[in-house]
Amino acid sequence: MTRNIRMQELVGRPVRNAAGKVIGRIEGIHAVCRDGICWIEEFELGAGAFLARFGMIHAEPRHVPWQDIDLSDLRHPRLRS
């Protein structure tokens, strides 16, 4: 199912695991665009991703493939088990 999502709805949102523990906030989104449509490939989570946005490349973000995050509730993204 294709769904339109605005990136500003996701950036900064905490992502929780199955136990409800926050594993990091969405700080970056990698997407590819084909034929005028952009598809999310992965998310960058955590402090490392936040610092990397400001050029502190020694900080390593946590990369999570798009299919590993449940976005059925955009306010409460969850890591799939």
The CATH number that applies at residue 57 is 2.30.30.240
> How many structural domains are present in the chain?
1
**Contact yes or no for 16/78 (Cβ under 8 A):** yes
**pLDDT for res 2:** 66
Tell me whether residue 80 is in a domain.
Answer: no
> pLDDT tens per residue, the chain (81 residues)?
567 778 888 999 999 999 999 999 999 999 999 998 888 899 999 888 888 777 776 777 889 999 999 999 999 999 997
Q: Judge if pTM exceeds 0.85.
A: no
Q: In what order do the strands lie in the sheet with 37-45?
A: 62-65, 37-45, 22-34, 14-16, 78-79, 69-70
3-state secondary structure of 7: helix
Does residue 47 lie within any of the structural domains? yes
- CA-nearest of 69, 76, 47 to 59 is 47
Q: How far is CA 78 from CA 13, 24, 35, 45, 48, in A?
A: 10, 11, 30, 12, 19
Decide if 2 is inside a domain.
no
